[in-house]
């Protein structure tokens, strides 16, 4: 060809567009099948977790009457030893702490409404069983407050904000027909668990600052007394009275013990 002419015709193999690449990876049908199997597996796993939780709750015993404060403290220490450092335990422990704090100094009973998923999804099966064991020893289950999860917990205060609302006093409605994963669980401390014993439990639990990375699970019912319940006895807490917080009381207790030790040591030296 002469200079400047354009040649149209067959292109060289180097200039030709490559053939469409064959489809790589699983087909859409295979992906859909895998997703369906995965969903079925998670559904079976969740079903097993709910069944295990329901079995543990049914087998749990109620606190003895009168309640045993030493047994409760021992169960709290056991739970903290096994699960206290697990990040998933923080919301449960903060909610439990809020329950004990709310009960102290009140003549009425309070209750803790908690999503049962907190027990099944915060840890493994061991966490779930030990949490149920702790609640069964330290609290009375309140089936009258186990309302559907589809609505917010009725007339309760937030465990985080401390906003207090009085619970209604009409006849309780039992939601036994609801499956476990569709209703709030509710627990109240025994009415004969005194304020001093509540204080001793709070001293053993991690404080809010230690668990500041999490929020409390559930909500606190500010007045969960049943019609006809007598007023709860209110006790004066040692080392500061009812206005004394557990952390402040603990510091005062340590200071008092140091003073006693110093006096004993001084007397021992003086009698030599």
Q: Alpha-carbon distance 142 to 175, whole Å? A: 11
Q: Alpha-carbon distance 232 to 266, whole Å? A: 44
Q: Alpha-carbon distance 91 to 217, whole Å? A: 5
Q: Which ranges of the chain would DSSP assign to H, the alpha helix?
A: 28-59, 69-83, 90-103, 117-121, 125-138, 195-204, 246-270
The model's pTM is 0.68
Phi-psi region of 36 (alpha: psi -120 to 50; beta: other; left: phi over 0): alpha
pLDDT tens by residue, 167-221: 544 444 556 678 888 999 999 999 999 999 999 999 999 999 999 999 999 999 9
| CA angle in degrees (0–180, nearest 5) for 143-146-147 | 145
pLDDT tens by residue, 234-252: 987 654 444 455 555 556 6
pLDDT tens by residue, 106-159: 999 999 999 999 999 888 899 999 999 999 999 999 999 999 987 666 444 444
The residues, ordered by sequence, that sit 6+ positions from 55 with a Cβ below 8 Å of its Cβ are: none
Query: Of the candidates 155, 156, 240, which has an alpha carbon nearest to the alpha carbon of residue 196?
Result: 240
């Amino acid at each position: 060809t002469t200079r400047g002419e354009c040649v149209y015709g067959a292109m060289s193999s180097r200039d030709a567009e490559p053939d469409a690449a064959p489809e790589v990876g699983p087909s859409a049908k295979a992906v859909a099948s895998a997703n369906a199997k995965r969903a079925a597996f998670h559904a079976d796993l969740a079903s097993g977790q709910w069944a295990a939780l329901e079995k543990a709750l049914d087998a749990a015993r109620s606190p003895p009457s009168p309640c045993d404060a030493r047994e409760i403290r021992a169960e709290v220490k056991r739970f903290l030893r096994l699960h206290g450092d697990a990040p998933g335990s923080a919301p449960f422990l903060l909610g439990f702490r809020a329950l004990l704090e709310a009960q102290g100094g009140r003549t009425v009973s309070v209750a803790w409404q908690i999503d049962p998923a907190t027990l099944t999804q915060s840890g493994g099966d061991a966490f779930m069983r030990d949490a149920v064991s702790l609640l069964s020893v330290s609290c009375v289950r309140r089936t009258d407050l186990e309302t559907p999860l589809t609505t917010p917990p009725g007339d309760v205060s937030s465990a985080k904000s401390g906003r207090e609302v009085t619970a209604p006093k009409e006849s309780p409605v039992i939601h036994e027909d609801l499956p476990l994963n569709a209703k709030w669980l509710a627990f109240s401390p025994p009415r004969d668990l005194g304020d001093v014993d509540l204080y001793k439990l709070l001293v053993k639990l991690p404080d809010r600052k230690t668990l500041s990375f999490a929020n409390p699970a559930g909500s606190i019912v500010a007045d969960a007394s049943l019609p006809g319940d007598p007023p709860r006895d209110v006790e004066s807490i040692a080392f500061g009275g009812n206005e004394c917080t557990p952390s402040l009381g603990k510091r005062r207790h340590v200071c008092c013990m140091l003073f006693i030790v110093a006096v004993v040591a001084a007397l021992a030296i003086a009698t030599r």
